[in-house]
Amino acid sequence: MVAWLLAALVTGSLVYCGLIVVAVRRYRAARRVAEPAEPVSILKPLAGLDEGLEDNLRSFFEQDYDNFELLFALRSEADPAYFVVESLRRQYPTVAARTILTGEPPWPNAKVWSLSLMMQQARHDLLLMSDSDIRVTPAMARTIAGEFAADPGLAVTTCPYRAVAGQSIWSRLEALGMNTEFWGGVLVARMLDGMRFAVGPTIAARRGAITAVGGWELLQQYLAEDFMLGNLAAGRGLGVGLSSYVIEHRIGSESFPKNAAHRIRWNRSTRRSRPLGYLGQVFTNPLPLALALVAARPAWWPVLFLVASFRSFAGWATAETVLADPVCRRQWLLIPVQDLLSFAFWIAGFFGQTIKWRGQRYRLLADGRFQRAE
C-alpha cells in the first residue's frame, strides 16, 4: 500500500516536471514591453550591512533612465548602511536620491513601516520596491516602466530573481533550490491560476493598488506582505503580473544554523499564507519521493533514472532559459543534496508556530498574520 502511494506521488511529480517546461515556454512567449515615459520612484528599505551592499545600491544609482528617484529608509544615522548611502549620493550628485530616518518601527513588520514612510514622500505613482540584497543592470527601471506602459491594466508585478550564492555550501545549496525548484513552482502557479500573488525581493506597484488593498496599515500585519499585496490585488480584479526582468538576489553566506532557521521561517510563513499550495509542494521534490519508493520496492530502482532525467530537464528549463544562471551549470551534481534538504525543510514547516526574525521572536497566526511573542 505504501509503495503504491509513493508511486502515485512520484507520478504526480513527473507530471509536475512536465508542467514546468510548458510553463517556461508560455512565460517566455508572453513578454510585452513598450517605450516607457512614466517616472518611477524606487524604494529601498535598509537595515545593516548586507554582503556587497555598496555594489548592490550602486547598481540602482546607475539606471539608464532619465526619470527616476531613489528613496532609502533606515532607522537612524547610526546604522552602518547610512554611511554607504550618503557616500553614494555624493558620488552620483545628478541622481535624485533622498534618505528617510524612520525611528523604531511601531509595527511588527519593520520593512512595511519603512515602505509606508517612503511612499508618503515618493513623488511618483509607479513604485518599485526592492530589498537591500538585490543587484540590477542599468536596464531595470526602463524595462519595468515599459511593461506598465504596454499593459494599462497592470497594477502589481514581481521580478523573477536569480539567486547568487555566497561562499558557504549552505548558501550554494539554497541558491540551487531557488533557481531550479522555487521558480518552477511560481511559473506553474502562473500558468494554472494566473498571478494571484507577488514575491518579495523586488515588486513594482501603482500607488492606487496599494491603497485599494487596504494600504500598508493592513499589509503590516502579515509576515509575507509581498504575497498578500499580490493576492489581495488579484482578489479585487487588479492586474498582477510576472515581469520579464530578472534581478540578482545576493543571498550571501550563512552558517548552517542561520540558513536552516531562515528556511524554516520561510516554510512556516508559506504554509500559513497558502496552505493548499504548501501541501501541493509534495510534488516539487521528486528525487526524495523516488528514493523512498525504491526503499519500499528495491526492484523498482530504474525509476531513479527516470525521475532524475525529468527533474534535470525541468530544472534546466527554469535556471537556464528563464534565469540564465551560470552557477547551476557548474554545480548540477549538488541538486540531489539540495532536494533532500528542501524536502526536510518542507516537512519541518508543518510544525511550530513561532519564528525568529531580526532578533525578535514572533508568533504566526493561522491566517498568515503575525505578532510579537511574549
pLDDT tens string 165-202: 888 899 999 999 999 999 999 999 999 999 999 997 99
Q: How far is CA 115 from CA 94, 98, 109, 165, 236, in A?
A: 24, 14, 10, 27, 22
User: Could you give the angle at which helices 256-273 and 169-177 cross, rounded to 10 degrees?
Assistant: 20
Q: What is the mean pLDDT of residues 273-300?
A: 91
3-state SS class at 216? helix
Q: What does the pLDDT read at residue 256?
A: 86
Find all residues with CB under 8 Å of 194, minimum gap 6, and list them.
Answer: 234, 240
Bridge partners, 74 (sequence order): 101
Cα angle, residue 170 at apex, residues 281 and 262 outer, rounded to 5°: 60
Task: Give residues with Cβ within 8 angstroms of 156, minimum separation 6.
Answer: 198, 203, 204, 205, 206, 209, 229, 230, 233, 238, 239, 240, 241
- Confidence label for 215 from pLDDT (cuts 50, 70 and 90): very high
Q: Among 48-57, 202-211, 222-231, 335-344, name the most confident range.
A: 202-211
Distance (Å, rounded) from C-alpha 369 to C-alpha 221?
Answer: 5
Nearest to 284 by CA among 328, 340, 238: 340
Q: What does the alpha-carbon distance between residue 205 and residue 130 come to, in Å, rounded to a whole number?
A: 11
Quickly count: other Cβ atoms within 10 Å of residue 211's Cβ: 11
| Rounded-to-10 torsion of CA 36, 115, 111, 156 | -40
The three-point CA angle 98-104-110 to 5° equals: 80
290-342 per-position pLDDT tens digit: 999 999 999 999 999 999 999 999 999 999 999 999 878 788 888 899 999 99
User: What is the spatial distance between Cα 352 and Cα 321, in angstroms, rounded to a whole number?
Assistant: 37
pLDDT top residue among 347 and 37:
347
The closest of 129, 136, 133 to 251, measured between CA atoms, is 133
Sheet holding 360-364, edge to edge: 354-357, 360-364, 370-372
The pLDDT, as a whole number, for residue 374 is 61
- Give helix then strand counts, H and E, for the chain: 16, 13
Amino acid identity, residue 290? Answer: A
Q: Nearest 5°: phi and psi at 99?
A: -115, 130
Name the residue with cell 519603512. 114
**DSSP label at residue 268:** H
> In the predicted model, what is the mean pLDDT of residues 145-159?
95
Is the pLDDT score of 359 beyond 70?
no
Q: Kindly report, residue by residue over 95-130, the tens digit of the pLDDT.
A: 999 999 999 999 989 999 999 999 999 999 999 999
Higher pLDDT pick, 268 / 205: 205
Q: How many CB atoms lie within 10 A of CB 27?
A: 20
**Residues comprising the chain, all counted:** 374
Give the per-residue pLDDT at 370.
79
The 3-class secondary structure across 33-75, one letter per residue, is: CCCCCCCEEEEEECCCCCCCHHHHHHHHHCCCCCCEEEEEEEC
Using CA atoms, how far apart are residues 154 and 160, in angstroms rounded to an integer? 16
Between 144 and 333, name the one with better pLDDT.
Answer: 144
Question: For residues 258 and 359, is the Cβ–Cβ distance under 8 A?
Answer: no
Q: Considering the chain, what percentage of its residues have pLDDT values greater than 90?
A: 75
User: How confident is the prediction for the chain on average, in pLDDT?
Assistant: 92
